[in-house]
Structure 1
Amino acid sequence: MTAMFDRVLVQTDDFSVPQEYARIADDNSDGAVVTFVGKVRDFNDGSVVTDLTLEHYPGMTEAVLQQITAQARERWPLNKVTIIHRVGTMALGEQIVFIGVTSAHRKAAFAACEFLIDFLKTKAPFWKLEAGDQGKNWVEAKDADEQAAQMWQQK
């Protein structure tokens, strides 16, 4: 029997991908486990990045992530969904976000994982402050992220 659950965390601490995978991949009813991990990279829009600080609106952020998860559940037959998003200052290469989705079939799991990251990047109240070779600056939302989220509105 499939055990459905949602897990949404916003935290400063890093997460363990193997532990999170094990937490969601333990159900024999699931034929698909899809995960995504976003990391701090060393560039953005042609500028060097040395670290990233993420701020959020406590309480509201978690509520929005729960809403996004509920929307994914309305679209696809999902069993387990985990979203972990870090806040605070992170160095290059550090993990920022983990999304894990399980379903009986791969297409639903892949689509839901992509939907979740696209909507998270455009709907969740996070603010990014990048430090780099040109000082510190707040990162504006990218048109490509908005377009990706809009594509889901049409589907």
Structure 2
Amino acid sequence: MRWWLPVRGEVVRYDAVKGYAFVAAEGLEEDVFLHVNDIDFDKTLMAVGAVVELVHEVGERGPRAVSASLVRSPVADAVQEALGGGQVPLEGPRTTAAPAPSGHAHDGFADVLSAAELRSEVTERLLASAGDLTGRQVLAVRGTVEQIARAHGWLDS
């Protein structure tokens, strides 16, 4: 039987290699099986602690998600934290947070980093703020941040 009303839940177990997760959904006694083929977001954002909204059905082996959308991800939160923006809000409009204080006077000019310096700083901040990210997730986030930095001219040539 399929339930068309979405339920919200938190990912309590995730196996990136095998491509599945289990979600503790509100109002359900059993965890819901979720395969990455049934998500409508980038699978690199999937992690334990991610909050998803899903439509599920109950089969012979228990509840199984047929579709899922992302509400909040610790991976996205880690990126925000690394960039000085704090946690991504669960609901409501997204606002741009003020940059985190750097501890030194700002002269109105941005520091230009080498690609290696940026990768090192982003990696260290991701590991410090969300140490349970997989290596693949850290690389995906770091690569995206580097692309943004290159597009804005924030890196040395």
TM > 0.5 fold call: no
* Structure that is richer in strand per residue: 1
* Structure that is richer in helix per residue: 1
Query: Normalization by structure 1: what TM-score?
Result: 0.24
Task: Give the structure, 1 or 2, with the largest relative contact order (CA under 8 Å, sep 6 or more).
Answer: 1
